[in-house]
Structure 1
């Protein structure tokens, strides 16, 4: 694949280890960890180790963790990932956005492009995503990417000392191509 995937305002491209400090700064924010699956505290070593796994994941087609980078300033704003399950020809969309960039539509813009990549380039049969029910911003991202509500998994995860409900959204290839 030729990277980056582009949108109007973003380049979605593989991470470089040199971005680890910025990843730590953004993903390590307590507010980001509160409503995502990003661990907290999130150290520089965590970020470096995570980024070092990407090349192999991408080469093997297991996952495509892309840095969301503003075209205008080359600033990292967050991550948009598509994790691929080849046996079932489906992909899971997963993402986080640094708090200074919340509410600007970057995740939605990147999600639309990643869903397109999943169906048009990877020929997936299904793309899905999940978010904590208490995270309406993430739900809006999934909706704007064209995914439909499929259900709520009650007390599906144990997060920060309590059980949380998870909303699941998805789309199948037939819906995407119609």
Structure 2
């Protein structure tokens, strides 16, 4: 991990995870988890078909750090010392709300790691970014992600009809949110 390239990147840690800057050395781990076709059922993007797609996407993240700052964290498993996912938050605007999203490698599903990462990001959003509201949207059939969001303290707010285009078609999405107390 090259922390010297982005020295102000905020590291977030949990008992089992380190949320950190992505680095070019993450390419193999990124490709390993995001080339899994199972991801296609839960994300607006398709799995990587080859390592070049992973390299292009990783370079996009690194370029975004240069232009916009720290809005996506690599999720590193502390024990395994490998990248197992990505969690992101968009920059807060004038209305002090943000949207979060995440992906986790299938080998790590069902272990509470996505919830752990999300809780760390929620704390960061409220404590350091001073946001008033944190949102997430998911496909209605993604029940595992619904459980993650609820366990992290978010509440289901409703179904948003044809809210976003996912894979070329307008899709209904469920909205979850947590507000600053």
Q: Measure how far apart 1:119 and its partner are.
A: 0.7
The answer to whether the aligner puts 1:86 opposite 2:93 as a matched pair is yes
Structure 1 unpaired stretches of 5+: none
The answer to whether the 8 A contact 1:133-1:164 is kept is no
Q: TM-score, normalised by structure 1?
A: 0.86
Instruction: Check 1:36–1:169 CA distance in 2 against 1; reply closer, same or farther (3 A cut).
Output: same
Question: Which residue in the other structure is 2:33 paired with?
Answer: 26
Q: TM-score, normalised by structure 2?
A: 0.84
Structure-2 separation of matches of 1:31 and 1:41: 11
Select 2:134's aligned residue among 127, 138, 157: 127
Instruction: Check 1:171–1:61 CA distance in 2 against 1; reply closer, same or farther (3 A cut).
Output: farther
Instruction: Check 1:62–1:156 CA distance in 2 against 1; reply closer, same or farther (3 A cut).
Output: farther
The answer to whether the 8 A contact 2:75-2:87 is kept is yes
Instruction: Check 1:149–1:28 CA distance in 2 against 1; reply closer, same or farther (3 A cut).
Output: same
Structure 2 unpaired stretches of 5+: 1-7
The answer to whether the 8 A contact 1:62-1:84 is kept is no
The answer to whether the 8 A contact 1:65-1:80 is kept is yes
Root mean square deviation of aligned Cα: 2.2
Q: Measure how far apart 1:59 and its partner are.
A: 5.8
Q: Measure how far apart 1:13 and its partner are.
A: 0.3
Q: Measure how far apart 1:161 and its partner are.
A: 6.8
Runs of 4 or more above 4 Å deviation:
58-63, 160-163
Instruction: Check 1:168–1:63 CA distance in 2 against 1; reply closer, same or farther (3 A cut).
Output: farther
